[in-house]
């Protein structure tokens, strides 16, 4: 019942925002946006800061924000705004023939529509957001407003950034897309069409040195405003408490068949499907052993692909929630090009990275894992697993061999909380 009421509320809210565009009423739109702001239930209620951080919500950035908010009393008040609002306003102004009735909560827009938006429509769009931000400032007269977003290629938000700049409201980039293969970094530098957005950010936070270097290659002027703050999620997985356990729990973290492979036409036939298939076969085989518990953690956008494979009934599949609790409970983790695989290393677990692709080019698509955990033989994986099963081990394992991998992606774990306090208060 609550979900139905909430869906109805979202529909009405987004319809009214669209209606405010039809009326050309930025004042009404700003009021509706203000009442749309939401907070997490576990966030602090009595924040007396004179600054409000408006985070353009994205679930992938959610956990980072939660960790910093929970760990510090020195950051401004944080509220969230749905990114669908910026998309809806973009939909109104992008110049195509508008329908009066459509899914207001999920308006259909595409990146190329940003580039074909007529100059006059773009000017009106930016002016509308400029007046919306002005009115938001008026509604928060005793507070300084900042916006935070998680990527620089959110095309529908560009006019919002311009509106902020015109009102001296800072927009900060908490850049989440810092885990990339060498080929993906090369693609980001050469082929991203939205890198000019970087000029609109007051400060940029990245996890690691590589990403700062990458952004500076794209635009040398962003160096002074780009801060290497580390990844807060590392704090979820650093386990200093020793415990002994007999190994029996295996976790397979499903992975995208295209992760790490840039979207060039030349790469259209390259994927990780072979490695994925072989791991499923291995798990089906070893699941017959009663001494082994096997879980598969997947995501909603990968469950369809997973169900194409025949999976033994002894294997449990989990779709909802984050991978954190599964990693903490597992002993052996099979993963690939994902943050979760690196988090398993941070957590001090045995990690197996399958790599069955034969072509040399695939090495450029793989993350920078230590060679000792990369396996290209089914027999070697099975042998490795059975050598570990029932062995009593003291966890967390020392991750000395993986320190370079961890720091390359997650950055330095020292002073993470203080780094983000400085970033949010700047």
pLDDT, tens digit (0-9, with 9 covering 90-100), for 182-211: 999 999 999 888 889 999 999 999 999 999
Indicate whether 340 pLDDT > 70: yes
CA dihedral defined by 185, 227, 209, 157, rounded to 10 degrees? -10
Query: Distance between CA 3 and CA 9 in Å, rounded?
Result: 10
pLDDT, tens digit (0-9, with 9 covering 90-100), for 280-318: 999 999 999 988 999 999 988 888 888 889 999 999 999
- Cβ 332 vs Cβ 385: under 8 Å: yes
Q: What is the DSSP string of 7-66?
A: HHHHHHHHHHHHHHHHTT-HHHHHHHHHHH-B--TTS-S----SEEEEEEE-HHHHHHHH
pLDDT, tens digit (0-9, with 9 covering 90-100), for 87-132: 999 999 986 666 666 788 888 888 888 999 999 999 999 999 999 9
**Averaged pLDDT, 162-166:** 98
Output the pLDDT for position 108: 85
Strand partners, 227: 205
pLDDT band at residue 59 under the 50/70/90 scheme? confident
Query: Distance between CA 407 and CA 343 in Å, rounded?
Result: 11
CA dihedral defined by 258, 261, 266, 268, rounded to 10 degrees? 0
pLDDT band at residue 60 under the 50/70/90 scheme? confident
pLDDT band at residue 40 under the 50/70/90 scheme? confident
Domains and CATH numbers, the chain: 2-231+414-425 (3.40.50), 239-410 (3.40.50.2000)
pLDDT, tens digit (0-9, with 9 covering 90-100), for 237-250: 888 789 999 999 99
Query: Distance between CA 400 and CA 405 in Å, rounded?
Result: 10
* CA distance readout (Å), 407 to 181, 239, 258, 339: 15, 16, 24, 12
Those residues whose C-beta lies under 8 Å from the C-beta of residue 193, and which sit 6 or more positions away, are 111, 115, 153
CA dihedral defined by 411, 415, 417, 423, rounded to 10 degrees? -80
230 φ/ψ sector (left φ>0, alpha ψ -120 to 50, else beta): left
Percentage, residues of the chain above pLDDT 90: 79
Output the pLDDT for position 423: 97
What pTM value is reported for the model? 0.92
* CA distance readout (Å), 108 to 17, 102, 105, 157: 16, 9, 10, 15
- Cβ 401 vs Cβ 372: under 8 Å: yes
Through-space distance between the first and last CA atoms of the chain, rounded to whole angstroms: 42
Question: Residue 255, Cβ neighbours under 10 Å: how many?
Answer: 24
* CA distance readout (Å), 410 to 208, 209, 346, 414: 6, 10, 10, 11
């Amino acid at each position: 019942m609550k979900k139905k009421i909430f869906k109805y509320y979202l529909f009405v809210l987004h319809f009214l925002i669209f209606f405010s565009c039809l009326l050309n009423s930025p004042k009404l739109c700003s009021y509706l946006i203000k009442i749309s702001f939401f907070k997490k239930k576990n966030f602090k209620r009595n924040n007396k800061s004179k600054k409000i951080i408006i985070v353009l919500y994205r679930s992938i950035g959610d956990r980072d924000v939660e960790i910093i908010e929970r760990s510090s009393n020195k950051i401004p008040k944080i509220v969230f705004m749905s990114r669908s609002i910026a998309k809806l306003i973009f939909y109104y102004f992008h110049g195509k023939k508008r329908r009066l009735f459509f899914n207001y909560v999920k308006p259909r827009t595409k990146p190329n529509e940003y580039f074909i938006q007529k100059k006059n429509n773009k000017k009106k769009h930016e002016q509308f957001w400029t007046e919306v931000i002005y009115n938001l400032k008026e509604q928060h007269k005793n507070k300084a407003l900042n916006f935070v977003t998680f990527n620089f290629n959110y095309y529908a938000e560009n006019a919002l950034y311009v509106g902020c700049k015109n009102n001296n409201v800072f927009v900060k980039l908490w850049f989440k897309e810092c885990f990339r293969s060498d080929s993906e970094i090369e693609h980001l530098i050469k082929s991203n069409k939205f890198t000019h957005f970087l000029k609109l950010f007051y400060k940029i936070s990245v996890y690691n040195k590589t990403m700062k270097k990458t952004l500076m290659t794209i635009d040398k002027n962003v160096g002074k405003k780009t801060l290497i703050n580390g990844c807060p999620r590392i704090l979820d997985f650093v386990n200093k408490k020793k415990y002994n356990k007999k190994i029996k729990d295996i976790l397979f973290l499903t992975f995208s068949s295209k992760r790490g492979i840039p979207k060039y036409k030349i790469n259209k036939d390259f994927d990780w499907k072979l490695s994925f298939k072989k791991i499923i076969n291995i798990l089906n085989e070893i699941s017959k052993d009663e001494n082994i518990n096997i879980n598969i953690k997947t995501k909603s956008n990968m469950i369809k692909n997973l169900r194409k494979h025949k999976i033994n009934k002894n294997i449990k599949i989990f779709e909802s929630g984050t991978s954190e609790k599964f990693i903490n409970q597992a002993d052996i983790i099979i993963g690939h090009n994902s943050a979760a695989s690196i988090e398993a290393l941070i957590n001090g677990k045995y990690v197996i990275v399958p790599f069955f692709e034969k072509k040399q080019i695939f090495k450029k698509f793989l993350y920078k894992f230590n060679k000792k955990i990369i396996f290209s033989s089914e027999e070697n994986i099975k042998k490795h697993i059975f050598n570990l099963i029932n062995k009593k081990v003291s966890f967390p394992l020392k991750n000395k061999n993986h320190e370079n991998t961890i720091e390359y992606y997650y950055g330095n774990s020292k002073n993470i909380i203080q780094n983000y306090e400085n970033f949010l208060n700047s």
